[in-house]
């Protein structure tokens, strides 16, 4: 074409290949500036991570029995005490670590699985991709919780590990589907094609060209699975599945329920662990919304040129 066809690339948010680390960091800072939600989310997340790491240094044995039973919040017991006189605040703090551990480890394993199945399938293509995709979709419509409950009931776990593994192996499907769709669309982008034509090794293309440009989506999928894992673990623990003596927010709720905290009006016992779960989940969700806003500029409060950009219209032209 002639030079007259050069369109100003308004609102281009396509991931670009080959950006340096500093450019990425710069992009991240920009994203934070553009999305206050993400900032709030990260602050909440940071708070809980710090609590998990340094909290235990400041507390005594959270399981130590005390004489004050079902004590209201007071100067001595900031969040009151349990039926056995245990310090609720200590328990909440001590439970932060295990909860985060379940979330992040299960989320991590699960994300790796979605990468292998989603991106792997998309990149191999052909019949194995079709099969993996079908498998993903089937797993996606099978209700996870009853499955996890039944397996947990059978396995009768003594530590957190079985729970983590069960959650990781049931929670990958959603992310795998998103990543597959993304990988399929990127596979036909020019720079990937160029890399293929120039004879780069497939794994190299995936690692060097594909994955870096999918980072935001991978992170988003990871966060989603972390939320899923934390909620699922809380549910399982609340049911008394797994070792009820391990400290986690879910287990605190289990004991609160089992010891009739509700009918004895001990709101300080069951309120804090649930609030922590909800708050952590909110923080993680906010980070994800922030990512969404960065990936989809139309969601930002000030909209760019309302869809009247040349590039988009031509890209979406008749087939």
Partner 1 sequence: MRYFTRKVGFYVLALWGAVTLNFFLPRFIPGNPVEVLLARMTESGNPPPGEYKVLSSVLGIGGGNLLDQYWHYLRQLSRLNLGVSITEFPTPVTHILAQTLPWTIVLVGTATVIAFLIGTTLGALAGWRRSRFLNNLLPVTTFLTATPYFWLALVFLYIFGVVLHYLPLNGGYDPTLDIGWSSSFIVSALQHSVLPGATIVLAQLGGWMLSMRNMTLTTLSEDYVWAAEAKGIRPRRVLLGYAARNAILPSVTGFAISLGFVVSGSIIMEIVFSYPGIGYTLLQAVQNDDYALMQGIFLVICLVVLGANFLVDMLYGFIDPRTRQAR
Partner 2 sequence: MRVQPAAQTGAEGRNDAVLRASHISVEYGGTVPTRAVRDVSIELHRGEMLGIAGESGCGKSTLAYALTRLLRPPAVMTEGQVLFCGRDGAAPIDIMQLEPEALRRFRWTVVSMVFQSAMNSLNPVISLRRQFSDIFEAHVPEMDREARDRRSRELLEMVGIDPSRLGGFPHELSGGMRQRVGIAMALALQPEIVIMDEPTTALDVVVQREILLEIARLRRELGFSVIFITHDLPMLVDLSDRLAVMYAGEIVERAPAEWVGGRPAHPYTLGLQAACPDLLGERRALQGIPGSPPDLRQRLRGCAFAPRCQYVFGPCADIHPVLSPLAPPAAAVIESVLDRDGGKTSKLNDWAVACHLHDRTANPAGPPDELAGDPLGTGGLVPPAVGAGLGVDPTGRPARGQDQL
Select from 15-23, 78-86, 145-153, 189-197 the region that touches partner 1 (CB under 8 A).
145-153
What is the per-residue binding string for partner 2 in 7-46, x denoting contact by CB under 8 A? Answer: xx--------------------------------------
Please choose which of partner 2, partner 1, none residue 146 contacts, taking the beta carbon within 5 to 8 angstroms, the exact cut-off set by kind.
partner 1
Residue placing its CB nearer to partner 2 in the complex, 1 or 57: 1
What is the per-residue binding string for partner 2 in 287-316, x denoting contact by CB under 8 A? Answer: ---------------xxxxxxx-x--xx-x
Please choose which of partner 1, partner 2, none residue 4 contacts, taking the beta carbon within 5 to 8 angstroms, the exact cut-off set by kind.
partner 2
Question: What contacts 110, CB < 8 A, 6 or more positions away?
Answer: 167, 168, 169, 171, 172, 175, 225, 229
Q: How far is the CB of 283 from partner 1 (least distance, A)?
A: 8
Among 94, 115, 117, 231, binds partner 1 (CB under 8 A): 231
Question: What contacts 286, CB < 8 A, 6 or more positions away?
Answer: 37, 38, 40, 41, 44
Q: How far is the CB of 64 from partner 1 (least distance, A)?
A: 25
Question: Using alpha carbons only, how large is the chain's radius of gyration in Å?
Answer: 24
Among 8, 20, 143, 317, binds partner 1 (CB under 8 A): 143
Cα–Cα distances (Å) from 133 to 108, 139, 147, in that order, read 21, 10, 21
Contacting residues toward partner 1, per CB under 8 A: 134, 137-147, 149-151, 153-156, 174, 227, 231-232, 234-235, 238-241, 253, 256-257, 262-263, 265, 267, 270-271, 273-274, 277-282, 284-286, 289, 292, 296, 298-299, 301, 303, 306-307, 313
Contacting residues toward partner 2, per CB under 8 A: 2-8, 302-308, 310, 313-314, 316-319
């Amino acid at each position: 074409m002639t030079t007259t066809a050069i369109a100003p690339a308004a609102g281009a948010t396509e991931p670009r290949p080959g950006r340096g680390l500093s450019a990425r960091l710069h992009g991240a800072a920009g994203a934070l500036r553009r999305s206050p939600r993400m900032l709030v989310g990260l602050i909440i997340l940071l708070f809980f991570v710090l609590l998990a790491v340094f909290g235990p240094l400041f507390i005594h044995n959270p399981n130590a029995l005390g004489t004050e039973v079902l004590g209201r919040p007071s100067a001595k017991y900031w969040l009151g005490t349990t039926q056995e006189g245990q310090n609720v605040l200590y328990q909440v703090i001590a439970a932060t670590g295990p909860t985060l551990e379940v979330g992040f480890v299960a989320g991590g394993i699960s994300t790796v699985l979605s990468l292998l199945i989603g991106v792997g399938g998309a990149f191999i293509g052909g019949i194995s991709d079709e099969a993996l995709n079908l498998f993903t979709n089937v797993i996606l419509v099978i209700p996870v919780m009853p499955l996890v409950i039944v397996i947990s009931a059978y396995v009768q776990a003594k530590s957190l590990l079985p729970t983590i593994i069960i959650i990781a192996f049931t929670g990958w499907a959603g992310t795998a589907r998103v990543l597959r769709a993304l990988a399929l669309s990127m596979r036909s982008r020019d720079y990937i094609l160029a890399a293929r034509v120039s004879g780069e090794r497939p794994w190299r293309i995936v690692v060097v060209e594909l994955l870096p440009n999918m980072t935001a989506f991978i992170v988003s999928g990871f966060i989603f699975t972390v939320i899923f894992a934390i909620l699922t673990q809380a549910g399982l623990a609340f049911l008394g599945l797994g070792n009820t003596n391990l400290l986690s927010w879910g287990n605190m709720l289990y004991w609160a329920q089992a010891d009739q905290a509700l009918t004895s009006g001990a709101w300080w016992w069951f309120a804090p662990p649930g609030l922590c779960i909800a708050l952590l989940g909110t923080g993680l969700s906010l980070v994800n919304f922030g990512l969404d806003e960065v990936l989809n500029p139309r969601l930002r409060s000030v909209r760019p040129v309302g869809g009247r950009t040349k590039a988009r219209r031509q890209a979406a032209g008749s087939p």
